[in-house]
Amino acid sequence: MLQAQRCLGFVITCFAAISWCGCVSKPTMHLNHAEISGAQLAVFPPSIGILMTVVVDVYNPNSYDVAIRAMRGQVVMGNNYSLPVDFRPPGNGVWLGSERTTSVRVPITIPLDLGLLLLRDSATAEFIPYRLTGRADVTASSTFRVESDDYAVDEQGTISRQQIAAIIPNSLGAVHPM
């Protein structure tokens, strides 16, 4: 009898968990800003890039934590130049607290030649537009680990032309020390 009550309690708990997870509200994303943080020298294949970090504020309206496990897509810089995005945070992802906004930092490397093209194309502009599009994979609840993939991301912003212009001389200096 006691074992039957425990089994019934377990079934009710599982049903409640499944019902609860069925009411997942999609986190909302808002592009906060982008920042240029430095230059990157890669050995294989040899390349020099400008490190840009896109900061996205994500609001989790749910009463439980949600994790972003991955984000795939692209960033279009200057309305013309596409860069791939494949963000996979370490561990179990970036956890978003319930009913809170969390800033998520997505690193993107801009090849140096693209940085020079952006500066050339935006010679008369103060800002360079960019658009971040793609899909995010999330896990709902650290307890039950309910996974959901392909949340759409589509955000636009601008970055100061001066930020890119300021890092290029340092990038070139890394290749040709004077």
Q: What DSSP letter does each residue of 24-44 carry, written as one string?
A: PPPPEEEEEEEEEEEEEEETT
Residue 30: φ, ψ to 5°:
-135, 125
89 backbone dihedrals φ, ψ, rounded to 5°? -65, 155
pLDDT at 173 (0 to 100): 57
- CA distances for 99 relative to 26, 49, 111, 157, angstroms: 12, 37, 38, 25
- Give CATH for domain 25-175: 2.60.40.10
In the chain, domain spans: 25-175
pLDDT tens digits, one per residue of 34-59:
898 888 888 888 888 999 998 989 89
User: For residue 76, what pLDDT is reported?
Assistant: 95
The C-alpha torsion from 87 through 89 and 92 to 97, rounded to 10°, is: -100
Q: What residue ranges of the chain have pLDDT lower than 50? A: 1-22, 175-178
